[in-house]
Chains A and B, each alone.
Chain A
Amino acid sequence: MTQLSRRELLRSAVLAGIALPALSACATPAGNGGASQPAPAAGATSAANPLGFAEDKPLEIWIFDGGFGDAYAKDVHEALVKAKHSKLEIKHNATKEIAKTLQPRFAGGNPPEFINNSGADAMDFGALVQDGQLADLTPLFDAPSWDDPAVKVRDTIDPVAIELGSYDGTPYVLNYATTVWGIWYSKKLFDAEGWQPPKTWDEFLKLCETIKKAGKIAPFTYAGKHPFYIYETILTLAAKIGGKDVLKNIDNLEDGAWKAEPVKQAATAFAELGAKYLLQGTAGLDHIQTQTAQNKGQVAMLPCGSWLENEQKDTTPADFDYAMFPLPDFTSSDALPYGTVHARPGEEYIVPSKSGNPRAGMEYMRAMLSKEGAGKFMEMVSTLTIVKGAGEGRTLKPGLKSSSDALTAAGDNTVWFLFRKWYVEMHDEVAAATGQLMSGKLTVDQWTDRVQKKADSIKNDSSVKKFSR
């Protein structure tokens, strides 16, 4: 169908809407521009433009204006692309609410070329993939890299990133920034008080007790309004106790995955922590409030990802000296050794397949994956990236150094879970139930029952596309 005749159809749908409202129901899908569009085809390729994007069509960029802000895109990546392709018009946008802002654009069939789909209001990747909205990024990974045409992009980055961005074997999502989770503290404070990062769970509890007894500062908190922050640690501890399969089973919606013994042990451990050592009012505070409380010396430790240092840069005292430690050994027979961390490439970037110039979106990604693009990004927003060696010769802040060291020390012992991306509903239910677990309103058994029930209902919901790893 040509563009013109499609418009005719739409117009008549509107007119039909006037005459016979009920019948216009049939017009709903017409607004989508047809799902069977071919994958974004390349135009003429050249050494300067290996992806063959159209230089005469604009490149519309949408950055999630969250912990990383959006200056990095403007100052680093867009500048890189602009320097190489002066004719390409780049339209920069930023928002805190990706889904609210951009979901209608998808529904309308005119999404932008490049989206940083992140934050609390990110769009559901599963739904986007299911609907064929995302461009296959294989051409990008097979293209020559920005820095050295002899090397493919694929070979300059952490392969886990491609794996994690793949849905049923096809890469759709670029996970750019590597995040490491852990328990964060002020090294300055710990040194001053003579506290040591704990290596075992017993030491951890003893440390909490010591801090509580000292009475100056609360031992522990988490972003109570966003219980993701605490279920993340519960699941990491569960994986440490029971091995990587614990999380894999959960992601794959295996029967009884949430009722596995390691999950229960980890939940019990944190429920105890919640009952005894939390900062007053934790349940009603959000991440910024708890993190600011830590900066102000009201609480000693909190779980977070490695974006923390950058997120708090405005409220952190200059000599705070951020550092993190991995989850301590729960027993001496944990399946994974001390130093295991929850780490994975995250901060997702996508190229909508039905945008006007998808190949330009990929070219932008190619620039992001250059050493210069990634290195400057690291410095600017204080996070690790998937680009190998991007941090060479750059100075890292203490928190970033600490998480970088933790990642190196962990080696292959990194764990992660993906259901948060695959099934947003699952994430919401786990978050809701875990908040109640931590404030003592649910027992561990009630918690596992509830969460397992949700997993089962998603498994049985034929309208939700299933993923596995």
Chain B
Amino acid sequence: MNHGRLRFVTGFLAVPVALYLIYVIAPYAQAFYIALTDWRGVTASPAFVGLENFRRLFADDVFWTAVGHNLLLLILMPLLTVGIALFFAFLLNAGGRGGAAGVWGSKFYRVVFFFPQVLAVAVVAVLFQQVFRPDRSGMLNAPLIALGFEPVGFLSDTGVALWSILGVLVWQAVGFYVVLFSAGIASIPRDLFEAAAIDGAGGAQLFFRITLPLLWDTIQVGWVYLGIAALDVFAVVWVMTAEHGGPDHSTTVMAAEIYRTAFQYFKFGYASAMGVVLFFFTIGFAALALRLSRRERIEF
């Protein structure tokens, strides 16, 4: 039995582990080495420069601006997305006449809310570029201009642009979590709501006393997904904004700086050093995620 067990374990792990080592681990290991060189992408023998890239990185204002934006997104994107999604999930399920079966038309809302999720990020970015246009051909600015207001530079005003990015990210993410949370709420025994309602609990009380505590696990899972997504933001910024993270670096994120430094400035050594820093940021977050999701192990 023991022998067969080992063979089974090895057999099941061989292909996934091999694929993973070749395509994921090996490139990353190389990247860590590249971070210690001045490689510009194509030289055969990059010079080893030790921690020089990191030393320079600490004085790189633009990179730290990007870090700041990532941290802001890491906090706000999950907060807003989870908040809005919870609100709608609650309305869809508990707020209506049908009780746990949902308000009238809840199925329709759930389908429509999910739409943005099925669109590719690149598509969403191109779409919102048009929505945000600063003249009267922009979807949002057209009515503003028609009413005599100054158009808002959604993507051109350095004070506004990052919020526009955040808006798009939340716009795309909310639907998924509405669906996730509604299912969570639907799985809460209906009697609990009804008992509470009989006891005179209002909508807000139902939400804070019943929905929120019983949904806490699901919310945590959502938080982890969103956190990873916030650290991975790239396509929206790269495709949508002027100067790829502009104007004037006001929307740039770490991934964009890494991509720019590597594939536009050809400073692969320096870009890899940025990647290493991003790595340590994300590993911290992943450790947190692991801790949150640790569950009882069942062994044979």
Contacts and interface: CB of A to CB of B under 8 A. Distances in A.
Direct contact between the two chains A and B in their complex (CB within 8 A): yes
Interface of A: 14, 17-18, 21-22, 24-29, 32-36, 99-100, 103, 106-107, 121, 123-124, 127-128, 130-133, 224-227, 280-281, 283-286, 289, 293, 424-425, 428, 431-433, 435-436, 439, 441, 461-464
Given A29-B45, A284-B156, A461-B56, A432 B29 contact: no
A84 B158 CA distance: 55
A44 B129 CA distance: 55
B270 A435 contact: no
A25 B29 contact: yes
Contact of A32 (B43, B56, B154, B155): B43
Nearest to A428: B243
A283 B134 contact: yes
A30 to B, nearest CB: 8
Contacts of B265: 124, 127, 424-425
Interface string B230-243: 00000000000011
Contacts of A424: 264-265
Main SS at interface, chain A: helix
A131 B248 contact: no
Contacts of A131: 40-43
25 contacts: A17-B21, A17-B26, A18-B22, A25-B34, A29-B44, A32-B42, A32-B43, A99-B263, A106-B42, A127-B265, A131-B41, A224-B242, A226-B242, A280-B135, A281-B133, A283-B157, A283-B247, A284-B135, A284-B155, A285-B133, A285-B134, A428-B260, A463-B38, A463-B40, A463-B270
Main SS at interface, chain B: loop
Contacts of A436: 158, 247-248
B2 interface: no
B78 interface: no
A127 B34 contact: no
B91 to A, nearest CB: 35
B18 interface: yes
Contact of A281 (B26, B153, B264): B153
Interface of B: 18, 21-22, 25-26, 29-30, 32-34, 38-46, 49, 56, 132-135, 141, 145, 150-151, 153-158, 242-243, 246-249, 260, 263-267, 269-270
A133 B26 contact: no
A425 B34 CA distance: 20
Contacts of A130: 40, 43
